[in-house]
Structure 1
Amino acid sequence: MTIRAIDISTSALIAQRTRLNTLSGNIANMSSLVNEAGEAKPYQARQVVLRTDDVNRTASGAAGVRVDEIVTDQSDPLYRYQPEHPLAIKEGQWKGYVAYPNIDLSTQMVDALEATRAYEANVGVMEITKNLGRETLSIIA
């Protein structure tokens, strides 16, 4: 039972670490206007999708979590009129505009804070579980 509880908390730690890494990548690329291939295409935010992990399940129904996928935000970029910018769009509806990533710093920071708190909570659960196991062994011995 104690080992299964630690496995569940470990799965949550891994999921929240992945989420934090993804969020930090979004924040780091808020000003990226060019993709890896050198094309004038703004960075698109990533988001982690979590799912219940049925492998880590207790008899009482508690379950772990796993990263199901990391999806790319498909929303339109933010356009700013900057006709003198070297990456300004040359023709069409958005002529003279520069496409920027559609990433809200406040939302990213709140999500990062939430992931950090979830991570800390699971570390706390692991400490309690470890102490419970230690106390149980001291009673038996």
Structure 2
Amino acid sequence: MSEFSKSLAVTASALNAQATRLRHVSENISNADTPGYRRKTVPFETAHDRDQGTDLVRTGRVKVDRRDLPEIYDPSHPMADETGHYKGSNVDLMIEIADAREAQRSYEANLKLFDQARQMSSGLMDLLRK
């Protein structure tokens, strides 16, 4: 397999991993006000692809943040107990926005690498045809 194909495979796997990460960040943001919701994170791992002879990026198992859920006092809330408290969400919007921006920037960087490898491969084919 050519080095161009390997670089395209690596960047494509990184694009998929960042897209998965961004999907989970958006789920966290959309559930920030959901009582009892726990933040989800996605770790990245390397996986050796024997067919292509290179290491690729993949996502690991989704992890749930086990930090304590905050106790929110609102006696009028339908999920409130007899003391007027209910368990909130452990999602911090500032962290999620920072994670979303980081995933977006990493996705864009990998997309540029993918495009550059594609252009180099196309240029090489043009040279070989002459």
Tell whether the structures are fold-level matches, with TM greater than 0.5. yes
Q: Which runs of 5+ in 1 are unaligned?
A: 34-41
Structure 1 position 9 matched with structure 2 position 11: yes
> Match for 1:89: what amino acid?
D
4+ runs deviating over 6 angstroms: none
CA distance in 2, matches of 1:71, 1:99: 20
Superposition map of 1:1-141 within 5 A: 1-33=3-35, 42-55=36-49, 57-58=53-54, 63-90=55-82, 95-141=83-129
**SS of match in other structure, 2:104:** helix
Which is helix-richer, 1 or 2? 2
Deviations 1:70-116 (A, max 9, x none): 011111111122233321123xxxx3222110110010000001001
CA distance in 1, matches of 2:104, 2:47: 20
Residues 57, 74 of structure 1: alpha-carbon distance in 2 compared, 3 angstrom cutoff: farther
The Cα of 1:16 is off from its aligned counterpart by 0.6
Which is strand-richer, 1 or 2? 1
**SS of match in other structure, 1:69:** coil
Identity within the alignment, %: 30
* TM-score, length-scaled by structure 1: 0.82
CA contact (8 A) 1:89 1:96 kept: yes
CA distance in 1, matches of 2:68, 2:38: 9
Aligned alpha-carbon RMSD (Å) = 1.4
* TM-score, length-scaled by structure 2: 0.89
The Cα of 1:64 is off from its aligned counterpart by 1.9
> Match for 2:12: what amino acid?
T
Q: Aligned pair count? A: 125
CA distance in 2, matches of 1:57, 1:72: 33
Residues 57, 103 of structure 1: alpha-carbon distance in 2 compared, 3 angstrom cutoff: farther
Which range moves more in the overlay, 124-133 or 63-72? 63-72
